Chain A
Amino acid sequence: MRLWAPIALVIVLALFPVVFPAELNYLGLGFLTFIFVTLAVSWNMVGGYAGQVSFGYAAFFGTAAYVTAILWRNGWDPILTLPFAGLAAVAVALLVGLPCFRLLGPYFSIATIGIGETSRILALNLDQLTGGASGLNLPLSVPSKPWFYWSGLALAGVAVGVSAWLRASRIGLGLFALRMDQDAAESVGLNSTLYKHIAHCVSAFLVGVAAGLYVVYLSYIHPDTVFSFTLSISMVLMGVIGGVGTLWGPVLGATIYLPLQQLLLAQPNLVAVNQLIFGGLLIAIVLFEPGGLLGLLRRLAHR
């Protein structure tokens, strides 16, 4: 895609709070969507580009969220904590990647489910640090809704930019090669583990910053929300439904997933079908259109 279209999209989105300053609910929804776009795009660097489908990203999200929360409670400016949240997520990513990248395909996925749940139970039990099952209340956030909207947009923009750069870079080519045939890639001298670690760390950093920003927005943190399996799943769903391994697929997936989910959760009689829709979409996509919704759109456009 040419460069002007995404830039125009960002400008249009950035003007929204200026044109409609009173629509605070939509600004909140926009912010959450940008956070989830960031998560989906970051997840896709490992789950899509490298083909290592992880069900354990909540471990990064939760750790980073707690780093922001705890530093903030100790008097830090919450915005200054964000890089440290990202670095904490990178540390966890290295810790997870070192053993787990020795595993291939579905075994990697299963191990990451174990990692995600392990981190949640640890967080629930380290109650001195995390507030345990009662969570932690944080200072009421100072910035305004438009501020969150713009920072979310900026973060999502950076994530897409990094993803585009990674995809076109030497590392991206290496990731595609090892996704297609790891043995062949290694036989021509590619250090597949190193490449996976690079993608994992870059993606974890972005997830960590998003997690920090999310916590500043909510002013409350609980192990069961920031370490939840549902959160890990949501990244898989957004990536796969949108179009795994593509640049714009996860963006599409997240802009459908989050607003739809918020809409369904707001309707008492539709709460139950919330994941049913996404589960059904996942089945349909695996069976009929492995390229996701983006693949479907492309196919329709070519017709």
Chain B
Amino acid sequence: MYEPSAIAGLVVTAVLTAGLYALMSYGLALVYGVMKIINLAHAGTMMLSAFVVLELNHRFHLDPILGAAVSAALFLGIGMLLYVLAVRRVIGAPPIASLLLLFGVWLCAQNAAYFFWGSEDQSIVTAYTLATIPLGGVPVPVVRLIPFLASLVALGVLSWFLRSTDLGKAIRAVSQNSTAARLAGIRAERVGTIAFGIGSSLSAFAGGLLTLLFSFNPDFGHTLQLKSFAIIVLGGLESFPGVALGAVVLAAIESFSILIPGWRGSLVNLLAFSLLVAALVLLPGGIASLLERRGKTE
């Protein structure tokens, strides 16, 4: 009933989308890992970064890919500042405090964007917006390939950073056991500052690259943020390979949903949101914990 080439197209779409989804979820996983808080300002960061890239593109004709890099550097600083000024104060408090605080930051970011850029949809058109590269007989849009490759690079760099540098080891130590890390002489406060900065920077990088694919307005990021939550919950909340796995699962489900008879495109976000609730309730340790449990009982 379905052509093999159509299925191949779906597989390619799923893989590319998975890269995009992973890229926008790394930052959330890093922040959760180190300070066990859910960064509700993630959507705001992605959205503001998209507007930064837009401004850089309009004023200096900077390519969105370079713009995303500049924006990532900018948000490294903004994220650290936000941590020092506000987030730091709610780390020991009941978890709901940090959730509400970062939610307030998101609301403010959203309204600041309304104030400066208005509510119209914005988009960035580049020379390669409509270009495609044939990959195994399937034409692949360049703008989908770029975030995918960026995601792979980011995963590689992050893994290397966390494994091989002193700072990366300190971040891992704090996320495994913050008290023990303190006892070993790690300044958990400073590690938190840097981790929040890197997390914001990753969100900003993702938001910047998303301008290649989507038009955006100050509400941009809300749906994507919920998808990121679904992904990191599926991935076990703090592991980067887990994020990649969660992204693949969500992207595959979304891409193949069109094979369901009577399916409508407008229902696609329903999958991510239901998956979020289902994963939270049924798989609190993520997919990996499911596999582990299976392994132990056998």
Contacts and interface: CB of A to CB of B under 8 A. Distances in A.
Interface of A: 51, 53, 99-100, 102-103, 105-107, 109-111, 113-115, 117-118, 121-122, 124-125, 229, 233, 236, 240, 271-276, 278-283, 286-287, 290
B104 A286 contact: yes
Interface of B: 37-38, 86, 89-90, 94-101, 103-108, 110-112, 114-115, 222-223, 226, 229-230, 264, 266-267, 269-270, 273-274, 276-277, 280-281, 284
A51 B111 contact: no
A282 B100 contact: yes
A160 B86 CA distance: 34
B270 A121 contact: yes
Q: What is the interface of chain A mostly: helix, strand, loop, or mixed?
A: helix
Given A105-B95, A118-B270, A121-B270, A282 B103 contact: yes
20 contacts: A99-B281, A107-B280, A109-B96, A110-B229, A110-B276, A114-B274, A114-B276, A117-B226, A117-B269, A125-B264, A274-B111, A276-B115, A279-B106, A279-B108, A280-B108, A282-B107, A283-B101, A283-B104, A286-B97, A286-B101
A122 B281 contact: no
B273 A53 contact: no
A125 B269 CA distance: 12
A105 B94 contact: yes
A106 B97 CA distance: 9
B71 to A, nearest CB: 22
A279 B107 contact: yes
Nearest to B112: A276
A275 B110 contact: yes
B277 A117 contact: no
A286 B86 CA distance: 10
Contacts of A275: 107-108, 110-111
Contacts of B115: 272-273, 276
B89 A287 contact: yes
B266 A99 contact: no
Contact of A99 (B94, B222, B264, B277): B277
A106 B40 CA distance: 11
